Homo-oligomer: A and B are copies of this chain.
Amino acid sequence: MKAVVFHGPRQVAVEEVTDPKIEEPLDAIIKITTTNICGSDLHPYDGRAPLDEGMVLGHENMGIVAETGPGVNRVKVGDRVSVPFNLACGTCRNCNEGWTSACLRANPSGQPGAGYGYPHMGPYWGGQAEFMRVPWADFNLLELPAGHEHESDFTMLSDIFPTGYHGTELAQVAPGKTVAVFGAGPVGLMAAYSANIRGASQTFVADFQPDRLALAERMGATAINLADGDPVEAIMEATDGFGVDCGVEAVGFQAHDPAGQEHPALVLDNLVSVVRATGHIGVVGVYVPQDPDAATEEAKEGRVAFNFGAAFEKGLSIGSGQCPVKRYNRELRDLIIRGQARPSQIISHELPLDQAVDAYAEFDRRADGYTKVVLHPGQAA
């Protein structure tokens, strides 16, 4: 089959690889109809997170069940399904508790949490390909209505819609609350969108890319352009000095100023400043325990010297981590089906798989308008 294969930093290729096949009784093979490029795909692409040569990329996948193992008894060949980016066994303690993001059995390294086509998440090939193998298929796959309707909305269910939503869950967004989202990339936009779904009274989105801020405003958020000055001042002024109830971090460890200088503590400091005393912060931007290419010794060890003293004095809570997609994807799917959510509005490009190499390059240099790229393996180039 054709797949997007990683050969090293900034070296990806669309090439022929062996077809995946049923390896275990609970496996299914999915024929991919849509697969997205994620901002976190750029971590290995940029060489910031080491990935094995030969890995097929892509953890945001959906498609049609093409084959099932003998132990699969719920999903059936022909079912249209969304594949959560976390790969989980469904029977360990963490899976039992709904933490599929920290499955204790799926990652051969023994570390909690597994995924497809991603560093440190196990040997599982991604879905930027014509087919992919999904272990524990009955547990992992989310059934979708047959047909082609809502395809570009449903493709947001494998990662960024739930991930943005998870940010608002960790931040305890609820009806009437005010929210500040830092970062207007796809996850930040989905967090702002989710805040709206959850009944927030006002959502601020801070970034310095005008096209992304424009998208945030189209979703009903209030844009805060970092290029215009201190976002803390802007948000405090807009809230009569009170601050917001909830904060979402959607930037991650590579947080930098408009000039490109990295400041790993910058966003957390801003959030601690704008979130009111007793408020809540949800961190879904990725931070890592080791970062050999970081600018400082501290950052290389995963240390982020934000103002924890101020957080304590204000009595803040900080939730963090990878989203357990299964916890949210069914309800978010139902919002799409019943016409209450249209997350596809952030998609900027829908391309055939063959154009993946260029798409990676453009997305990586944050080419103007490259908000979210979606690939269709079955589509003619």
Contact = CB atoms under 8 A, between A and B. Distances in A.
B302 A308 contact: yes
A265 B289 CA distance: 15
A173 B70 CA distance: 38
A139 B313 contact: no
A287 B98 CA distance: 30
A379 interface: no
A280 B313 CA distance: 19
A14 interface: no
Copies of this protein, total: 4
A209 interface: no
A333 B178 CA distance: 13
Is the contact region of chain A dominated by helix, strand, or loop, or is it mixed? loop
Contacts of A25: 25, 70-71
A189 interface: no
A167 B199 CA distance: 16
A307 B304 CA distance: 7
A91 B338 contact: no
Nearest to A138: B91
A184 to B, nearest CB: 20
Interface of A: 24-26, 69-71, 73-74, 89-94, 96-99, 101-102, 105, 112-113, 138-139, 165, 170, 174-178, 194, 197-202, 253, 265, 268, 277-278, 283, 286-291, 298, 301-322, 326, 330-335, 337-338, 340
